[in-house]
Amino acid sequence: MDEALEQYILDHIDREPLHLKRLARDVNVYLLYPRMCSGHLQGRILHMLTTMINPRRVLELGTYAGYSALSIAEALPPDGEMHTIEIDDEMEDFIRQRFAASDTGSKITLHIGDARDVLDSLGDITWDLVFIDANKRCYVEYYEMILPRLRQGGYILADNTLWDGKVTDPCHNHDAQTLGIMAFNDLVAEDERVEKVILPLRDGLTIIRKK
């Protein structure tokens, strides 16, 4: 998508909330790899999907700066709760400060650690919605851990499933992260326990519904 068309889209969707605009600015000023931040368009899509699904319990694997978590939390009902997991402990202060500055940050519980370990520690919580945006090498493992804990009719949103187009490029699909995404895509495509569709949004967003 060229910049003019992307800007046209941004001009014709809901405005970016002020606290998220500030967060996006801080990401670009203070953090490495700002492209990892969900941003205005994806944030509004996550917000809309959460509103449509109307979950009470949400899990996120991969917090990064907290933009996606805050976008989802905005759409939670008054009794909704969200747990988000970030492996990089150096991000903790940055994330907590941004959650504290938001009206909806109180709905979010931040966990620092490997998503697989934290998920086990959370026990038998049944999730209504899960957003996967963590280590691409582990997407298959995350999926197999999450699906039994997802309610019937619940949703998984998996980010980066087109991985910058590398999934179809035989010259650039040999690294561990691309292979992890390809294995995940193949697994989900053949899994009759779920319905699935890939949206060509940014780096690819797969929507999965447990039957």
pLDDT of 172 reads 84
pLDDT of 95 reads 98
Quickly state the pLDDT bin for 47 (edges 50, 70, 90): very high
pLDDT of 123 reads 87
DSSP 200: -
Average of per-residue pLDDT across 25-38: 94
pLDDT of 148 reads 97
Domain boundaries, the chain: 3-210
pLDDT at 1 over 80: no
pLDDT tens for each residue of 103-112: 999 999 999 9
Average of per-residue pLDDT across 53-78: 98
pLDDT at 139 over 80: yes
pLDDT tens for each residue of 141-164: 999 999 999 999 999 999 999 999
Average of per-residue pLDDT across 37-63: 97
CA distance 187 to 74: 32
Question: Nearest-5° angle of CA 64, CA 40, CA 74?
Answer: 75
Provide the mean pLDDT of the chain.
96
pLDDT tens for each residue of 68-118: 999 999 999 999 999 999 999 999 999 999 999 999 999 999 999 999 999
pLDDT tens for each residue of 178-205: 999 999 999 999 999 999 999 998 899 9
* Residues near 182 by beta carbon (within 8 Å), at least 6 away in sequence: 167, 173
pLDDT at 173 over 90: no
Which CATH architecture is the domain 3-210 placed in? 3-Layer(aba) Sandwich (3.40)
Average of per-residue pLDDT across 120-124: 91
pLDDT at 2 over 90: no
Across the beta sheet with 205-210, what order do the strands follow? 108-112, 81-86, 57-61, 127-132, 150-159, 205-210, 194-199
